[in-house]
Amino acid sequence: MRDRVYIKDLSSLIGQEVNIAGWIDVRRDQGKMIFLDFRDMTGLVQGVILPNNQEALEVGKNLRTEFVVSVLGKVNERPERNRKADVLNGTIELEIKKIEILNKAETPPFDVTSSGIEIGEEARLKYRYLDLRRPRMQKNIRHRYQISKFVRDFLDKENFIEIETPILTKSTPEGARDFIVPSRLYKGNFYALPQSPQQYKQLLMASGMERYFQLARCMRDEDGRGDRQPEFTQLDMEMSFVEREDVMELNERLLIALVKELYPHKKIQQIPFPRLSYKEAMEKYNSDRPDLRQDKDDPDLLAFCWVVDFPFFERTDKSDNKNTEGEWTFTHNPFSRPIKEHCDWLLQKENIEQILTTQYDVIMNGNELGGGSIRAHDPQMLKKVLEIIGHKEEDIKHNFGHMLSALGSGTPPHGGIAWGFDRLVMLLENEPNIREVITFPKTGEAKDLMMESPSEVSDKQLKELGIAIKIDKK
């Protein structure tokens, strides 16, 4: 359809014949005339089949909502009494000369022109390809793209390069439970899907890349929560030759620029962002994610802040999934560096409960947008952290030998941050959960209702992998 015109451009083509293509959004048969609202990815336009066009009227009788059509029509101004100046194409209509059905559609299981809030989520996720047609979902996904493009362009100007890191990696005890992938070639061995690119981005700093970012896919085998998914997207970045202030300043500048450019109707409550120590936040707000909004009823008020000076270690809770063996575990991740004043304590393994880390979290309206730290670029420092959280010498070598070797190869001081990208989009779009801003999400129970996964695999596949399934019966 080389000469196809997008619906958004029709108002500039009054008096001309044009070809459009899209979906039937609404059909109104008035006997002698048929009115049709057409929809493409750029908007809506009203069309009319006049009584003197018998060929088009015959086709029009068979049209239903969600049919896909190609239309030849003339762009006319609407009569003055029918004009709607405040909507796209509200001052024009398309006089339909010819209409061709490109594909018919079964009656959809729900209305795709509404907001969808009134429809059960299970139905929406089962027919997600239909649910995504609704205007609210189109807006969310297109705005998500605009945010990612803005971030990419901003970081490009700051001398970052985007680098993809592996999806098949090694299972190491550094955080949540891994999703594991069996190897056919090396039976009995497994890859792990990345919980985050943490180790890879530090290895990139060892490689001399200096400024890296990616919109990274991360997978964690965790119990479901409203703002979490088994797979999600991080804006991940790492920078060499920086201190904490450098990372915080760049990210603050990026967030301010993003809001001002893409969400100018929203107001940032305070610039520069306030800073609180972890101790202050807990004492004053009883939370390390304080909501500082002066008016919590204003959905377009954004109250950012930084929380810093977190404890590096905490006593082990055996119910967590951090796979630690000793009496201490990390609060953020084991690759962080303490604040300068506490580096000697770490190296001597003294005053462990008092050691503060260089971690920084950026908060918006009581939600953690992202967190990061300056890293331990000295292999001895990382080794001490691993010892404190209970790893034995042979385990350290097996699980983290590559990291210690890389850090000992001449790795510069470095630090970074990871944003919860889905969460950021959710909050900026004033949506209740991240499923509303992800194209094909899982349910809260980690199921894909549309693809019907997770699912069983064939005995042949299991045999190729050397795997036998044993299900415990309770």
Q: What is the CATH number of the domain that holds 50?
A: 2.40.50.140
Q: 0.85 cut: is pTM over it?
A: yes
370 domain residue, yes or no: yes
Do 79 and 144 share a domain, yes or no? no
Do 364 and 266 share a domain, yes or no? yes
* Backbone φ and ψ of 210, nearest 5°: 70, -50
Do 367 and 254 share a domain, yes or no? yes
Contact 196, 176 (CB under 8 A): no
Do 147 and 89 share a domain, yes or no? no
Nearest one of 152, 177, 159, 179 to 168, comparing CA atoms: 179
350 domain residue, yes or no: yes
Do 144 and 92 share a domain, yes or no? no
353-359 long-range contacts, Cβ below 8 Å, gap at least 24? 353/311, 353/313, 355/311, 355/312, 355/313, 356/309, 356/310, 356/311, 356/312, 357/309, 357/310, 357/311, 357/312, 357/331, 357/332, 358/244, 358/415, 359/308, 359/310, 359/331, 359/332
With a CB cutoff of 8 Å and minimum separation 6, the contacts of 64 are 24, 27, 104, 105, 107
293 domain residue, yes or no: yes
Do 148 and 35 share a domain, yes or no? no
SS3 418: strand
Do 152 and 196 share a domain, yes or no? yes
325 domain residue, yes or no: yes
186 domain residue, yes or no: yes
- pLDDT, tens digit only, all 474 positions of the chain: 679 999 999 999 999 999 999 999 999 998 899 999 999 999 999 999 999 999 999 999 999 999 999 999 999 999 888 898 889 999 999 999 999 999 999 999 999 999 999 999 999 999 999 999 999 999 999 999 999 999 999 999 999 999 999 999 999 876 688 999 999 999 999 999 999 999 999 999 999 999 999 999 999 998 766 668 999 999 999 999 999 999 999 999 999 999 999 999 999 999 999 999 999 999 999 999 999 999 999 999 999 999 999 999 998 865 555 554 568 999 888 999 999 999 999 999 999 999 999 999 999 999 999 999 999 999 999 999 999 999 999 999 999 999 999 999 999 999 999 999 999 999 999 999 999 999 999 998 999 999 999 999 999 999 999 999 988 766
116 domain residue, yes or no: no
466 domain residue, yes or no: no
CATH number of the structural domain spanning residue 251: 3.30.930.10
Do 345 and 244 share a domain, yes or no? yes
Contact 163, 157 (CB under 8 A): no
Do 190 and 337 share a domain, yes or no? yes
Do 176 and 68 share a domain, yes or no? no
211 domain residue, yes or no: yes
Do 272 and 167 share a domain, yes or no? yes
Q: Where in the sequence is the domain holding 57, given as residue range(s)? A: 7-103
Q: Which of 103, 123, 150 is a domain's end point?
A: 103
Do 271 and 316 share a domain, yes or no? yes
Domain count, the chain: 2
